[in-house]
Structure 1
Amino acid sequence: MKKSPLLLALLPLAFASVDAAELPGGGISAEQLSRHVRMLASDAFEGREPASAGEDRTVAYLSEELRKAGVQPGGDNGGWTQAVPLVRAQVAGPVSAQLRIAGKTQPLANGDDVVLQTLQPVEKVTVQDAPLVFVGYGIDAPERGWDDYKGVDLAGRIAVVLVNDPDFETEPGDFDGRGMTYYGRWTYKYEELARKGALGVLIVHETAPAAYGWATVRASGLSPVFDIERADAASYHTHLRGWMQRELAVSLFERAGLDFEAEKKKAQGRDFEPVALGDAALSASFQVKREQVISRNVVGRLEGAQRPQETVIYSAHWDAFGKGEPDAEGDRIRHGAVDNATGVAAVLELARVYAAGPRPQRSLLFIALTAEEKGLLGATHYAAHPLAPLETTAAVINVEMLSPDGPTRDIASWGKGRVSLEQALADAAAARGRTYSPDPNLEAGFFYRADHFAFARMGVPALTVGAGLDRVQGGVESGRALRDTYFANCYHQPCDAWKPDWDASGQAQDVTLLYDLGHGIANSSQWPQWQDGSEFKAARDASADARE
């Protein structure tokens, strides 16, 4: 494969070393990685919920470990943290919800039939007999010639919407085949339906297109929701939002004289038009506890020796889901070991190894971001209030969900980013006798579900790196089976916990590649780039003068 001038410039610097032990500080240590995960995922950290006692312990631990690693504070006012003002909203007390259709009323159990919440600035949600209308995938994409709304008036109505994109179950069409676009994300659907003036939104949960089961929806939906502070919160959010079980949707459509699968099939074409669900109406009522809180990103800095105004960022989110309902063993803590204590451990270990060696030409930031699980809020805040100029931030290398199951032959990144960093990662892997695997699960939309996306939207070349599937012991079949089991049983659940039989040797190999990748960029005068066809290229090109 012909390499770009950028890659040729990076290769001699990034990938000259073959022996991982040649890295400063003795190289990336599996023992250190496992130690960090064991601590961060322990009961003492209470699931690392933002704005909780668990956050206080997490921030203290991360700050101290960065100090011990030998980097400098990179946060506000010479400290280790960047304040992230947030709004926290939580359902207070019981939720009353009923569905009325064809003269009959069906009570709905919050958590079982639906999950309901709000981010509007209200103390109580009250919806009385709001009509339901099916709006397909809820997409308005003029550049793709797609409009699911066709001018429908949604004022006072609850929109029922499908998850993912129209292409998920069809031949490749207007939405890039099975690879989810941003239009498939639940966050987009909530935002778009607020723009359309809907009173509320119910997303129909289906496991395959959502890429997770109802247990994940329930755990997330019954937890507090967070947002950045918005002057327009009343219009930015619908009054009511949430999810409904597929079985409930099928029954609802049937009672409205419709076939769910037939209507979904219609929604997969651009001629789809919204359809009222008979005389179906939703009523719901619950109290809301809403408060302003301050969470924190934790930031370490290593100043560049030659061009300190230019920056490379390593990042990972430190937050998990705190405490929830007990599992079968009575455990209420969502420990967040794989997701994402493994990523935070990688950032800490990278800080230690870099600090032990000669300073690179460009500065490095090591950031543990808050509130990723709440909508990439810590990353979004940083991108709006950067501690180093985004125009001269060369790259963001974000780390997510490294494997506890030993080494793999490959390493992967999330989504198809159309960014030169993907090929640079492939070259780094090849230099150490490994391979690069594009995201094997594009339909899950992981590109839009990780913190690098907040930077990408601002034009900064960014990617999220995660574990490959081709296990040295067992191959791809074994790796896929372990991955599928994790997402089915432990994702956002208490069983995502550190275990004594974890094999972190594969994590150490992966983090070594991340060192190689970042080291090459930090010691180069070249700039990673978005490729033609990337939706982020224009934003980066607009600041080109700052990099001349």
Structure 2
Amino acid sequence: MKRFLLATALSWAVFAQGAQAAAIDPALLADHIKVLSSDAFEGRGPATEGEKKTVQYMTEQFKAVGLQPGGDLGKDGKRAWTQDVPLAKFDIEGPVAVGVKVKGQAQAWTQGEQIAIRAAQTGANRVTVKDAPVVFVGYGVKAPERNWDDFKGVDLKGKIALVLVNDPDFETGEGDFGGKAMTYYGRWTYKYEEAARQGAVGFIVIHETAPASYGWATVKNSNTNTVFDIIRADPAKSHAPVEAWVQRDVTVEMFKAAGLDFEALKKQAQTRDFKPVTLSGVTFSADYAVKAEKIVSKNIVGLLPGTTRPNETVIYTAHWDHLGVGLPDAKGDKIYNGALDNASGSSMLIEIARQFAQAPRTARSVVFLSVTAEEKGLLGSEYYAANPLYPLATTVGDINMDGVSAYGPAKDFTTSGDAPLTLQDDLIALAAARGKSYSPDPRPGAGSFFRSDHFPFAKRGVPAISFGAGQDLVDGGKARGEALAKAFVTDRYHQPADEYSPDWNLTGAAQDAALLFDFGQQLANSTTWPEWKAGSEFKAERDKSAGQRK
């Protein structure tokens, strides 16, 4: 093993010193972003005219740069440019009547203001909840391997559960859930999954900006929009009728009216001894109609077959979708253009593909996968990973791109989460040889590892990383980089203001794209297989298919 690792390290070092970075044009990156994030594409929502335009554009670009179609296999034995992704689509129709009674006094809430209710994904065409008791369940975690159970056997049938976002040790930075680094138990997606398992009428996540990692505007815009899910035989096993977020201040007032101290109970919830607490005298009611449809969205797939080992595959991914058309902002803008998130990553995908197509063919195949419905829960990549066009056992790795630097070159780069993975080590080594350092995820508490399209690959054992632009900018250093990143999350993330600006400096994005091209080319010409390190929760799954990798 030591000899293998030494040989691998030496091959990377030789490659890093000898190879020249690809010449990727920042102007071409800008051109793609301007088109994909224009108002004409209507925010690239799945199952909209914006999707049709996006699929057409990405397909045309993949053709133009020299890729082959790599999607679904037709009856004629030829591959299409797309992979069909069947999804269930849900929208709230008409008004939302929602509120609470506190000591007999009715308090009406406004959808998008005090509360953000997601369209129910149970298949019901109407949700009606009348005076349901409200129970605080702490962080809503049931983790036997950590000897942790926030429910303690409480019966939640017919009840609404209030749940904190993130993990029990987020605020203290110490404990059984990774300290500041979020585990999957901290994700709101897990909270809703647990709601269904507990038989609750619903889980309402209490919004707090720091543990959520984004403000209320992001919550409102993401959750009051169209909701998608994979097609499920029994949706009620995966979704409670009510899935929602509520403002922190509203919650604090409810606790106070029930004679409870929100902050004190939150501290209790950070301990293993916490027990659920009913909000005495508080009940929840809601009534709204839901329209459910089945649609077929598209992943777009380009391929460059390998010369000698075509059954071994390196995959690049980036999601093409954004939030489409939604609630207006203060300026009345309803189009969520998604320029950085993720027209920019889609642009990088095209230009890396151009470099591969112009270079000599690699030994292994390279796939360029533009996925749908990331903003709806990683559904496009989840569907691909569950229905792979190319076997996962012989997929060398996935390199995901979700957002680029618009502020010039950086001295560093990062990844979503600090993956215990030789794939990441190899990228760090290649970058270091070119003068670029690695900075660990600057916001480990945001749970970014679970929020990008590499995750469906990772949880099935495929070595997978999501690349992130660095914040130590050549022009302005870390102070400027961190300030710009914070401003984006606060003012533009999942908001109509995420628009292209001619003031952007995409030279850093071009450098990052060149690095990722060189990295993928080395992987595609190598005979080695990246691995999860000992202790990784994904290693065992990968090891099951070890016999299929020579």
TM-score interval, smaller chain? over 0.9
Calculate percent identity across the aligned residue pairs.
52
Match of 1:352 in 2: 354
Amino acid at match of 1:422: Q
Q: The residue matched to 1:88 in structure 2 has which SS?
A: strand
- For the 8 Å contact 1:14–1:517, the answer to whether it is kept is no
1:34 aligns with 2:30: yes
**Alignment match of 2:395 (pick from 390, 393, 396):** 393
Q: Distance in 1 between matches of 2:379 and 2:211?
A: 24
- The code of the aligned residue for 1:75 comes to G
In structure 2, stretches of 5+ residues that fail to align are: 74-78
Q: 1:172 to 1:19 in 2, by over 3 A?
A: same
* Deviation for aligned residue 1:18: 5.2
One-letter amino acid of the structure 2 residue matched with residue 399 of structure 1: M
**Amino acid aligned to 2:34:** R
2:502 pairs with 1:536: no
Amino acid at match of 2:16: F
Alpha-carbon spacing, 1:322–1:355, altered in 2? closer, same or farther (3 Å): same
Q: Specify the SS of the correspondent of 1:95.
A: strand
- TM-score by structure 1 length? 0.97
Decide whether aligned partners of structure 1 residues 523 and 268 sit closer, same or farther in structure 2, where only a CA change above 3 A counts: same
Corresponding letter in the other structure for 2:365 = S
Change (3 A) 1:439 1:6: farther
- Residue 148 of structure 1 aligns with which residue? 150
Q: Which residue of 1 aligns with 2:410?
A: 408
Q: Residues of 2 paired with 1:248 and 1:5: CA distance?
A: 58
Preserved CA contact (<8 Å) 2:211 2:446: yes
Q: Which residue of 2 aligns with 1:336?
A: 338
Q: Hey, what does 2:117 align to over in structure 1? A: 116
Partner of 1:285: 287
The two structures, once aligned, show a CA RMSD in angstroms of: 1.3
Distance 2:360 2:261 in 1: 65
What is the deviation of 1:546? 0.6
The correspondence for 2:247, drawn from 245, 248, 251, is: 245
> In 1, are the aligned partners of 2:13 and 2:433 still within 8 Å (CA)?
no
Give 1:51's match in structure 2, choosing from 40, 47, 50: 47
Give TM-score, length-normalised by structure 2: 0.97
Distance, in Å, in 1 between the alignment partners of 2:367 and 2:19 is: 25
Unaligned residue ranges in structure 1 (runs of 5+):
none
Give 2:61's match in structure 1, choosing from 58, 62, 65: 65
For residue 96 of structure 1, what is the aligned residue in structure 2? 97
Aligned letter for 1:103?
G
SS in 2 for 1:279: strand
Matches within 5 A, 1:308-387: 308-387=310-389
* Gap change, CA 1:16 and 1:72, over 3 Å in 2: farther
Change (3 A) 1:516 1:147: same
| 1:300-354 deviation line (CA, Å, top 9, x unaligned) | 0000011000000000000000112222333211110111111111111111100
Residue 17 of structure 1, CA deviation: 4.0
Q: Which amino acid aligns with 1:241?
A: E
Residue 485 of structure 1: SS of its match in structure 2?
helix
Q: What residue in structure 2 maps to residue 430 of structure 1? A: 432
Give the structure 2 partner of residue 82 of structure 1: 83
C-alpha contact 1:303 1:363 (8 A) present in aligned 2: yes
Q: What are the within-5 Å matches in structure 2 for residues 434-445 of structure 1?
A: 434-445=436-447
| Residue matched to 2:474 | 472
Counterpart amino acid of residue 183 in structure 1 = Y
**Counterpart of 2:76?**
none
Residues 13 and 429 in structure 2, CA contact (< 8 A), matched pair in contact too: no
Moved over 6 A (4+): none
Cα deviation for residue 6 of structure 1 reads 6.9
What is the aligned counterpart of 2:196 among 191, 194, 203? 194
Q: Secondary structure at the match of 1:503?
A: coil
1:143/1:9 CA distance change after superposition, 3 Å: farther
SS of the counterpart of 2:124? Answer: coil
Q: CA deviation at 1:5?
A: 4.0
Structure 1 contact 425–436 (Cα < 8 Å) conserved: no
